[in-house]
Amino acid sequence: MVVGEFTTEVDVLVIGAGPGGYVAAIRAAQLGKSVTVVERGELGGVCLNVGCIPSKALIHASHTYDHMKAADQMGISVENVSVDFGKVQEWKSKVVKQLTGGVGSLFKGNKIQTVPGEALFVSENEVRVFNGYEVNRYKFNHCIIATGSRPIELPAFPYGERVLSSTEALNLTEIPKNLVVIGGGYIGIELGSVYARFGSKVTILEGSDQILPGFEAEMTRLVERKLKKNKVDVFTKAMAKGMEETENGVVVTAEVKGEEKKFEADYVLVTVGRRPNTDELGLSDIGMKLTEKGYVIVDKQGQTSIPNVYAIGDIVEGPALAHKASYEGKVAAEAIAGQPSAVDYKVIPAVVFSDPEISSVGISEREAKEQGLDYVVGRFPFAANGRALSVNAGEGFVKLVADKETGVVLGAQIVGPEASNLIAEIGLAIEMGATLEDIELTIHAHPTLGEMMMEAAELALGHPIHVLNK
Ligand SMILES: Cc1cc2nc3c(=O)[nH]c(=O)nc-3n(C[C@H](O)[C@H](O)[C@H](O)COP(=O)(O)OP(=O)(O)OC[C@H]3O[C@@H](n4cnc5c(N)ncnc54)[C@H](O)[C@@H]3O)c2cc1C
């Protein structure tokens, strides 16, 4: 022990204040626990500071610019539309600040203590927290680890001035002339599209045979078509091999469908996945069980192999999503408070804020087929929905998958404008065990995009109104 090291005894210690950690802290406080949160960076974690929120703010700003330029098809002429990217970034930062400030106020209101610094486990019930030159110890009854994840670095593309991770790509001060994106997953597609809408010449290199692997090809095809329409070059089966720095940028070499190609860029954005922040916490030293890839092994309550320590969010296997982290945070807090909560992952929506948006919940038609289920599908096009056409959004479809015999809703896939919001109704339907008939008999307001859920249910039942039943 360093001379002067001070030990504080706390009840529940949460490490990391991202959407997993801060939600867990609030829930534990609501249940009467005294909670202390250690955070080495900013409140809100990746999601609020360098993830979900700033990316969606930039997506919105870039769409606004795009829509203004395209307004003449509705008879509205807008002249001299231009972008002051510095101001776009300022506005984005204001949104982030408002939200992280909100977490601070919630902590205060719930009497949650915040300790700035980096935590390292020294035993099963104690951590050291390093904050500059100061080191303090915290002894806890229960701990929730929510330290999140960081971008994976490719050895041939070390992060630096010209090679960006998503964090730097969100904070660029200029709009790149040429941007190469390595990785066509959701982060690459979202950020690549932002800069394409702002005027960058964007090239996407994706190793597998479709962008957004994991989503059905009939959905991702629409996104790829729109990307190409916006002059984004999309290369699938494209493996980035290396790069050479030039005076003003880089030249990326990639093998595209077996052929070597070179791409000039002023920036390269590498988004090939994320790895859990579990390697610098001293977890193996205290005997915690991790998977080979460094994810913490937990049970249905988030309890690790050390009974008084829980783990949630991106450091636990499953989709690296903010809403999964928050959900697990609530379950872990409730478990610590003695409640019989347990995770049930049947309803974790997945959303990509691409153009058009993509969302999915429950099982897809492909999965229903693979599982040998007897199922029905209702696939309703945006083009047959009045609201969609009146807001110039007639591209895409809603697909409901249900059990053939009982009509119980099993899943939905949506591609089209507002897919991110529309999916919520089907998430609730699956959670409630609703049937196609329940959705069909629910009066949906007209004219709304939401009516498409009712129409898709009618289609699956064989009596659609606004399309012919073939
Ligand atoms: C560009 C981008 C866009 C995204 N968009 C979406 C989206 O639209 N929807 C969605 O659901 N998800 C999105 N995500 C994913 C989402 O951000 C993560 O899944 C989510 O933040 C995980 O939450 P978490 O609480 O597990 O960890 P994090 O948010 O990563 O928070 C972990 C916190 O722990 C702190 N920490 C780490 N180690 C220590 C330590 N030793 N001591 C003290 N503190 C520590 C970190 O500083 C950090 O603040 C996006 C991610 C990125 C990068």
> 194 CB under 6 A from ligand 1?
no
Which pLDDT score is estimated for 278? 98
Beta bridge partners of 120: 128
Pocket test for ligand 1, best of 37, 46, 100, 193 (most atoms within 8 A of CB): 46
Instruction: Select from 394, 376, 390 the least CA-distant residue to 469.
Output: 376
Q: What is the dihedral of CA 453, 455, 457, 460, to 10 degrees?
A: -140
Ligand 1 contact via 147 beta carbon (within 6 Å): yes
CB–CB of 37/145 below 8 Å? no
For residues 198, 397, 420, 402, the Cα torsion angle rounded to the nearest 10 degrees is: -160
Q: What is the pLDDT of residue 68?
A: 95
Predicted pLDDT at 295: 98
Q: How far apart are CA 385 and CA 88, in angstroms?
A: 34
Check residue 204 and give its pLDDT.
98
187 CB near ligand 1 (under 6 Å) = yes
- Kindly report the three-state secondary structure assignment for every residue of the chain: CCCCCEEEEEEEEEECCCCCHHHHHHHHHHCCCCEEEEECCCCCHHHHHHCHHHHHHHHHHHHHHHHHHCHHHHCCCCCCCCCCHHHHHHHHHHHHHHHHHHHHHHHHHCCCEEEECEEEEEECCEEEEEECCEEEEEEEEEEEECCCEEECCECCECCCCCEECHHHHHCCCCCCCEEEEECCCHHHHHHHHHHHHCCCEEEEECCCCCCCECECHHHHHHHHHHHHHCCCEEECCEEEEEEEECCCCEEEEEEECCEEEEEEECEEEECCCEEECCCCCCCCCCCCCECCCCCECCCCCCECCCCCEEECHHHCCCCCCHHHHHHHHHHHHHHHCCCCCCCCCCCCCEEECCCCCEEEEECCHHHHHHCCCCEEEEEEEHHHCHHHHHCCCCCCEEEEEEECCCCEEEEEEEECCCHHHHHHHHHHHHHHCCEHHHHHHCCCCCCCCCHHHHHHHHHHHCCCCCCCCC
Measured in Å, residue 251 CA sits from the centre of ligand 1 at 31
413 CB less than 6 Å from ligand 1? no
Entry pTM? 0.97
Q: For residue 396, give the nearest of 380, 378, 411, 382 by alpha carbon.
A: 382
Query: Is 329's C-beta closer than 6 angstroms to any atom of ligand 1?
Result: no
Tell me whether residue 60 is one of the annotated catalytic residues. no
Amino acid, res. 116? P
19 CA to centre of ligand 1 in angstroms: 7
pLDDT at 133: 82
Under a CB-based contact definition with an 8 Å cutoff, are residues 143 and 304 in contact? no
The b-or-e profile of 341-357 (16+ CB within 10 A means b, else e) is bebeeebbbbbbbbbbb
Q: What is the pLDDT along the chain (470 residues), one digit of tens a residue?
A: 555 689 999 999 999 999 999 999 999 999 999 999 999 999 999 999 999 999 999 999 999 999 999 899 899 999 999 999 999 999 999 999 999 999 999 999 999 999 999 999 999 999 999 998 899 999 999 999 999 999 999 999 999 999 999 999 999 999 999 999 999 999 999 999 999 999 999 999 999 999 999 899 999 999 999 999 999 999 999 999 999 999 889 999 999 999 999 999 999 999 999 999 999 999 999 999 999 999 999 999 999 999 999 999 999 999 999 999 999 999 999 999 999 999 999 999 999 999 999 999 999 999 999 999 999 999 999 999 999 999 988 999 999 999 999 999 999 999 999 999 999 999 999 999 999 999 999 999 999 999 999 999 999 999 989 998 87
d(CA 263, CA 180): 7
Predicted pLDDT of residue 1:
52
Position in ligand 1 atom list of the atom nearest CA 314: 26
Cβ–ligand 1 contact at 385 (below 6 Å): no
Tell the residue nearest (CA) to atom 27 of ligand 1.
148
- Candidates 282, 264, 290; CA nearest to 180 is 264
Q: Among residues 60, 63, 323, 446, which one is catalytic? A: 446
- Give the residue among 470, 356, 465 at the shortest CA–CA distance from 413: 356
Q: Whose alpha carbon is nearest atom 49 of ligand 1?
A: 45
In the prediction, which pLDDT does 3 show? 59
> pLDDT, tens digit, for every residue of 73-110?
899 999 999 999 999 999 999 999 999 999 999 999 99
CA distance 445 to 447: 6
Contact yes or no for 455/464 (Cβ under 8 A): yes
